[in-house]
Amino acid sequence: MDYLEIIDRSDSGEYISEENWDLEKVAMTCMRLVSQYDLKWDRQNLVPDDPALADRVFAAGLALAVEIGAYNRSSERILRFERDELESALRDMKQTLSMGQGADERVLFARQIEDSRPPLVWAGNPGAPHPEALFLPAVVSWAQEPIVDLITCGTLAEVDGREVRTGEALEITATRRELTYLHQALAHVGRPGMGMLAAQSSVSELGDLAAANPDYLRTCDAHLVPMLNELKIDNRNIARAVNSIEYGMRNGGLYCAISGGLGGDAPGCALISVASMILGLLTNRADYHILHPIHIRHVATSTREVLWVESVVLQAFARNAPAIIVTDVYPKSGALTRELLYETAANALAITVSGGHLEGCGSADGLVPHATGLEPRLMGEVGHAACRQGVTRAQANQWILQLMEKYEHVFRMPEGNPGARFDQAYDLETLQPLPEWTRMYEEVKTELKEMGLDLSG
């Protein structure tokens, strides 16, 4: 089904108000399907080894997609799809996807549960606003890490000291400058062909159009096309997807279902995530998926609810419709805190053994420029070690629970645990972590080794 058909259905589908979509369609249907498919979660079993549960989550998600479809917020119409249309999209789903070029090219692939092939490590903090002076050094800090395969970045909140406003002239400037800095970073670390998920400073189609040029986003790179909460798209995001298709670039379908939101608790979030990813193949024209569930109160992906959702959704696809799923790591804590490293390790374990690739870290919820290259290094090391060692879901769960004892208190801190800004954690001359940050990293690695994870490789 091509995008013209999506545009047609956006204009001709059944009308429904957004409030009724949210309540009558999404919330009511989720409530019924969670009960019908007996979807339950256990706060002590965040990486379940339960094939039947994974299959039920997938079946319920597909049922949701078939039953209600997606909603076009611009036209206030429902986009309905027949079961065979969705199943056909699943069958045609890419199993490999080349990113980047030349010696730096990497191939994303559909991972399996407890796959011995290590996840690709996609480093960066999409969405986090950065002052212009810190943008390039921050990107270099993770691009220089040998374990990193692909990069992404935050946004430029200002250029030349002026605030960037969505949909106005400086969005174009900011998007092109972001891409210029990214290419400078890749040249600086000697990996000019690395694949990127970028143009993060582009929120409207203005930035997207400005970046669709080989000097900025190349056709071997990717850009986000988000599904809006929940199960919604709008004409502007369809336009972004079409821009990528016409240009020949990759679309990363982004799905941020909310645990505690319209689907209710974690099981409802899981089935919305599955439905989003199935529908996103058609509505978002996704070449690969970015799984990023959100906790309604704490945001972070390191909460029990979100860890469970990420794990069970990855397993649901791995068993029923193998897919390329890059899974976000957005810890609550920021740089120069031990908790950031514990959260990163817990997230990386859950994702790796469940069948996902790793993307992050959106440290401090991705709200501030408090991310560095050190935590994606650890994220990759943990993911690689888990594969090398053949870590099972049960073992990963046990370690995650131990790690949670060390970091779960951050969700009770009124101001969160934002830690320090990039330039307080890294030396801006050498672009290496400051001694205190290195010491914390080494100490946490020692703790992980003592726990049983073989980080010697």
Partner 1 sequence: MNDVIITAIQQTLIEGNVETAETAARAALEAGVDAQTILNEGLMRGADIVGQQFEAGEVFLPQLMFTARALKAAMAIITPELKRLSAESGISSSKGRVVLATIQSDIHDIGKNIVSTMLTTGGFEVIDLGVDVPIKRIISTALDEGADIIGCSAMLTTSMPFMSDLIKTLEAMGQRERFKVMIGGASVTPAYAERIGADGTAANAVQALQLARQFMQNALA
Which stretch, 260-268, 313-321, 388-396, 419-427, contacts partner 1 (CB under 8 A)?
Answer: 260-268
**Minimum Å distance from CB 336 to partner 1?**
20
**Strand pairing class (294-295; 155-156):** unpaired
Which residues neighbour 408 within 8 Å (Cβ) at sequence distance 6 or greater? none
Distance of CA 231 to the CA centre of its chain: 17
What backbone phi and psi angles, to 5 degrees, belong to 106?
-130, 150
x-or-dash pattern for partner 1, window 56-95, by CB under 8 A? -----------------x----------------------
Is residue 142 within a helix (H) or strand (E), and if so which, with residue range? helix 132-143
Does 367 interact with partner 1 (rule: CB under 8 A)? yes
Binding residues for partner 1 restricted to 140-159, rule: CB under 8 A? 155, 157
Which two tokens mark 238? 């369809």
Is residue 258 at the binding interface for partner 1, with CB under 8 A as the rule? yes
Angle at Cα 185 formed by Cα 143 and Cα 379, nearest 5°? 15
262 binds partner 1, rule: CB under 8 A = yes
Q: How far is the CB of 260 from partner 1 (least distance, A)?
A: 5
Angle (CA) 31 393 405, round 5°: 85
Find the binding residues for partner 1 in span 293-322 (CB under 8 A): 296-297, 299
Q: Which of these segments, 114-122, 200-208, 327-335, 337-345, binds partner 1 (CB under 8 A)?
A: 200-208
Residue 205 near partner 1 by CB under 8 A: no
Q: Return the residues of window 93-122 that contact partner 1 according to CB under 8 A.
A: none
Question: Of the listed pieces 116-124, 291-299, 306-314, 356-364, which binds partner 1 according to CB under 8 A?
Answer: 291-299
Which is nearest to 259 in space by CA: 311, 210, 220, 221?
311
Give the phi and the psi of residue 97 in degrees, each rounded to 5: -150, 120
Segment near partner 1 (CB under 8 A); pick from 183-191, 264-272, 327-335, 421-429? 264-272
Q: Residue 351: name the closest of 46, 125, 143 by CA.
A: 46
Contact letters (x/-) for partner 1, 14-53, by CB under 8 A?
Answer: ----x---xx---xx-xx----------------------
| Backbone phi, psi, residue 237, to 5° | -75, -30
Could you tell me if 52 and 60 are in contact, meaning their C-beta atoms sit under 8 angstroms apart? no
Q: What is the smallest separation between the CB atom of 399 and partner 1, expressed in angstroms?
A: 26
Among 171, 221, 310, 375, binds partner 1 (CB under 8 A): 171
Nearest to 256 by CA among 297, 304, 298, 306: 306
Tokens coding 35: 């009960």
DSSP E strand boundaries for 100-165: 106-109, 121-123, 129-130, 150-151, 155-156, 158-159, 162-163
Asked if 392 touches partner 1 (CB under 8 A), the answer is: no
Task: Cis check for the bond before 230: say yes or no (omega within 30 of 0).
Answer: yes
Q: What are the tokens at 439?
A: 């010491």
Among 265, 310, 339, 343, binds partner 1 (CB under 8 A): 265
164 vs 242 by CB, closer to partner 1: 164
Residue 204 within binding range of partner 1, rule CB under 8 A: yes
C-beta of 13 vs 366, nearer to partner 1: 366
Residues of this chain that bind partner 1 (CB under 8 A): 18, 22-23, 27-28, 30-31, 73, 129, 155, 157, 163-167, 171, 174, 201, 203-204, 228-229, 234, 236, 258, 260-262, 264-265, 268, 296-297, 299, 365, 367
